[in-house]
Amino acid sequence: MILIEGAAGAPSIPGLITDPADPMLRVTACTGAPGCPQALIATRSLARRLAPGLGTHLHVSGCAKGCAHPGPAPLTLVGRADGTVDLIRNGTAADLPSRTGLAPASLTALPALLTETDHAP
Ligand code: SF4
């Protein structure tokens, strides 16, 4: 977050969030692929797609290191080597997932997958 004095009325800058209700403020994502050699998925594009359907904070991590948000989050998605993601509830990117192998496209099409209650295996 930055403060730009006298910026009121200035032309908008693509990607700059100026609305405190912007859904992008509900997501945190690391660099992800292709910027990070450790990344197993493209984190930022997935976070952008999911942000509008979220009711809570989501952390999207390219791997279990969780660089962008080391602490727990209500929802965390962690990339897997096969391009799918694991879902961790109320934990960090390194914690045990409650759902594994979710296709990123399924999360975009069915955001309820992020809010539904998990069932015991
Ligand atoms: S969490 Fe993993 S993929 Fe994301 S920036 Fe850190 S090392 Fe790279």
The whole-number pLDDT of residue 7 equals 74
Q: Checking DSSP bridges between strand 85-91 and strand 73-79, what pairing results, if any? A: antiparallel
Q: Is 118 a residue whose pLDDT tops 70?
A: no
The whole-number pLDDT of residue 19 equals 87
Confidence class for position 8, pLDDT limits 50, 70, 90? confident
* Domain assignment present for 48: yes
* Domain assignment present for 116: no
> How much is the CA Rg of the chain, to the nearest whole Å?
15
Q: Is the CB of 42 under 6 A from ligand 1?
A: no
Q: Which atom from ligand 1 is nearest to the alpha carbon of 79?
A: 3
Arithmetic mean of pLDDT over the chain: 90
Give tens-digit pLDDT for 16-45. 888 889 999 999 999 999 999 999 999 999
Give tens-digit pLDDT for 55-65. 899 999 999 99
Range of the domain at 59: 23-110
Residue to substitute in 45, 61, 69, 86 for testing ligand 1 pocket (most ligand atoms within 8 angstroms of CB): 61
* Domain assignment present for 120: no
Q: Give the CATH number for residue 50.
A: 3.30.413.10
Q: Is the CB of 66 under 6 A from ligand 1?
A: yes
* Domain assignment present for 84: yes
* Domain assignment present for 90: yes
Task: Please count the structural domains in the chain.
Answer: 1
Asked if residue 77 lies in contact with residue 87, where contact means CB atoms within 8 angstroms, the answer is yes
The whole-number pLDDT of residue 119 equals 55
Comparing CA positions, the residue from 114, 118, 96 lying closest to residue 106 is 114
Q: Which atom from ligand 1 is nearest to the alpha carbon of 33?
A: 3
* Domain assignment present for 105: yes
* Domain assignment present for 16: no
Q: Is the CB of 29 under 6 A from ligand 1?
A: no
The whole-number pLDDT of residue 115 equals 74
* Domain assignment present for 73: yes
